[in-house]
Structure 1
Amino acid sequence: MIGGRGKAAKAAREARAKALWQAMTVRYRSDGHIRFDLPDALRTPGAALVLEEGLGRIEGVYRVHVFPGAGKLSIRYMEDVCGIAPIAKALAALVTEAVDMDAAVPPPSVPMVMEGEVVPPGWLDRIKDSAPVRAVRSRYDDLRAKIDVVSKIVAIKTGKPVPGGVDVQEWIIHFLNDLVAFYLIRSHWDRIIGQWLPRPWAFRYQWMTVVYLTFLLVRYRKGAVPKLVKK
């Protein structure tokens, strides 16, 4: 009797997992990026954690994110390392694992707030939640993840670990400094050629500014200690 109930429960669970898997339609697909529609049962924190951790263990997949509000699953991967077939196979197995995790989760405790009182978010939270900042942070995370994956691929192909790592933040700062210097030179080029060089003493303050900015740039470059990306 107990064995029959267990088989019936297992069959019902597998049937539900199959129905959820069939409900996950492809919303968007491009090179190295695919998004799925998620049914309501797979939008819970527990199910999202199972999907993100399980797919993140696939070699070549460098970013997985579940958007519960929008009901979508975003997967970014390196096409040279991982194709769509192993991702789909692993995703089907993970749906079976996450099928029973749609139970109601008790809401987290929140501090007592007086009735009618509205606590506005701070200015820092508003900046972090703004669309441009979120887009930049997303691109930054993607770049770091891609560099990490490429380093692992090089280590596997050569049989030697890649020495050190690339600090993306430091690289971006150097790039922006060079970009600002190029912009200043480009925007003042006519004055440099037509006025500053023929009459350097008359424009001595401008030359002092140029020398000081160059000194700061060189000092920063020499003082910047190479950093290793934390694994």
Structure 2
Amino acid sequence: MSIQKEFVLRYRVDGHVRFQIPAQVCNVDAAKAVTDGISKIDGVYRAKLYRGQQKLSIRFDEAVCDFKSLARQLFQLLADLEKNGDLNPKPVSKSMLWKEKVKSKLDGFKATRWAKEKFGDAKETVQAAKIITKMGMKKPAAFMKDPEKAIIDFLNDILVIFLIRLHWNNITQHWLVRPFAHRYEWMALFYMFFLLVRSRRQK
């Protein structure tokens, strides 16, 4: 039986699918090869393989890559990996095997997955904050003139970036696709930018 036939679709909604996968794909090297290959598919913005649960989760942009196209490219990827022997486990030391087993168990917990996802969001927000800080340092006169306003403007920028990052998947997957259905969300977004621009006006 080819490896593709052992991938069973367990969940599907617009932009998100989950597969039950065979144990053969759940070794460290195979899992990395599969997720790396899936991540290169146009339209895919997140691919996560839970080795302990033998599950594969893929999030993608339906406007760029529909489900049929995704499935076709996924099966072709699996066929290529199987043909090249990339799904076969490589020998590892006992200590490394133990560490990977523990990591796999931890990844299986919902709390761990949630924490990792939120940590990634926070990390990206911090990176953006560093950029804003550097930009602010180039205008020391504004800070010296009114430090309170400069700090408030800085915090407002961070808040806006965080909110956009938090809702980015919804914006690209749903709000842009069905703008009228999400008109209230768009109104809130535009109003937020209006307040941001208004706060920048010189009194």
Report the TM-score when normalising by structure 1.
Answer: 0.45
Equivalent of 1:54 in 21, 31, 37 = 37
Within 2, Cα distance between the matches of 1:85 and 1:131? 29
Within 1, Cα distance between the matches of 2:121 and 2:65? 16
Cα deviation, 1:92-147, whole Å, max 9, x if unaligned, reads 11111222334343334649xxxxxxxxxxxxxxxx99854641542564799xxx
Equivalent of 2:6 in 23, 35, 38 = 23
Task: Note if 1:135 corresponds to 2:66.
Answer: no
CA shift, 1:37, in A, is: 0.9
Task: Note if 1:103 corresponds to 2:88.
Answer: yes
Whether the 8 Å contact between 1:63 and 1:142 is mirrored in structure 2 is no
Segments of structure 2 that go 5 or more residues without pairing to the other structure are 97-106, 130-145, 162-203
Equivalent of 1:220 in 136, 151, 156 = 151
CA shift, 1:73, in A, is: 0.9
The aligned length equals 132
Whether the 8 Å contact between 1:46 and 1:98 is mirrored in structure 2 is no
Larger Rg over CA atoms: 1
Query: Counterpart of 2:64 in 1: which secondary structure?
Result: coil
Within 2, Cα distance between the matches of 1:134 and 1:217? 38
Q: What is aligned with 2:62?
A: 79
Segments of structure 1 that go 5 or more residues without pairing to the other structure are 1-15, 112-127, 145-166, 173-214
Q: Could you say which structure has the higher helix fraction? A: 2
Q: What is aligned with 1:67?
A: 50
Within 1, Cα distance between the matches of 2:20 and 2:87? 16
Q: What is aligned with 1:45?
A: 28
Write out the 4+ residue segments of structure 1 that deviate beyond 6 Å after TM superposition.
none
Question: Which residue type is aligned with residue 45 of structure 1?
Answer: V
CA shift, 1:171, in A, is: 8.1
CA shift, 1:75, in A, is: 0.3
Change (3 A) 1:86 1:131: closer
Change (3 A) 1:135 1:216: farther
What is the percentage of aligned positions where both structures have the same residue? Answer: 25
